[in-house]
Structure 1
Amino acid sequence: MSFSKQELVKYRIARAKEVFEDAEILVERKRWNSAANRMYYACFYIVSAYLAQKGQEAATHSGLKSAFNQELIKSGKIDPSEGILFNKLFGMRQDADYEDFTDSEESELLPLLPKIKSLIEDIENLINKNQSTQ
């Protein structure tokens, strides 16, 4: 099945929002490692949407991080603090998913929710701005 670039971008934006809502539910249930995973993936999907709009795909998570830094941070399109957030979430997800006896903590995750929501909104706004100029 083939999808247009616009359909893919729209799907990934919706996926980012859905996964962010999953993270909020997991936080409410105090499922910290799973919440860390979903927090990262919410950002992963919105960055993937931005790259898809540009006709780019990242084959790996590291490639996505690199493209994020190049396309959005170094270009000045979003605040560098959002790059720090994305990199932090990547590390937290790695630890939560692959390290034994690692527990993400409430005090570490709760303050990140509004920052993640802001990152999703900022990148979605860039996508919408790019669509209106195409």
Structure 2
Amino acid sequence: MDPTTEKLIKSYINKADNKLSVAKKLYNSKDYEDSVSRAYYAVFHASQALLLTEGQKAETHKGVVTLFGLLFVKTGKFSKELGKYLSNLKDDRESGDYELFSFIDEETSKAALEEAEKFLKEVKTYLQKTGISVA
């Protein structure tokens, strides 16, 4: 892998880590909608890092979900469960960001954090196995 791509991958993972950290702070301050939004963006940026390992880049959020499914779930590199995390977090983020009366509550936010943590952990493990060192 060329050094520029590897640097981009690491930058996406750093951004994902930051978004997850912010999501936890928002959860602790009972800002559940924004916590879910940041949890989604942690997963979104981690997914973008993965796409780069396959020489791919998506232009839209839906494109990231679709390509993740095609390149990583259908191929067996990641579980269907992780694909659902990405898709469900996207839907929850949209509800929290755009709906006047969203369904996002403490329980939904806590689940989003757990899913984002698991997703990010598995992405980092995968990247390590492919020779990309991420902390």
* TM superposition score normalised by structure 2: 0.90
Contact 2:33 2:109 in 1 (8 A): no
* Aligned twin of 1:121: 121
**Aligned mates of 1:10, 1:40 — CA distance in 2:** 18
Matched, 1:27 2:27: yes
User: Percent identity at matched positions?
Assistant: 26
* Aligned twin of 1:95: 95
Structure 1 runs of 4+ off > 3 angstroms? none
Query: Any idea what SS the aligned residue of 1:127 has?
Result: helix
- The structural deviation recorded for 1:73 is 1.0
**Aligned mates of 1:102, 1:115 — CA distance in 2:** 19
CA-based RMSD of the aligned residues comes to: 1.5
**Aligned mates of 2:119, 2:77 — CA distance in 1:** 12
* Aligned twin of 1:131: 131
Structure 2 stretches lacking a partner, 5+ long: none
Residue identity in the other structure for 1:57: K
**Aligned mates of 1:101, 1:36 — CA distance in 2:** 15
- The structural deviation recorded for 1:103 is 4.8
Contact 2:48 2:57 in 1 (8 A): yes
**Aligned mates of 2:70, 2:120 — CA distance in 1:** 17
Residue identity in the other structure for 2:12: R
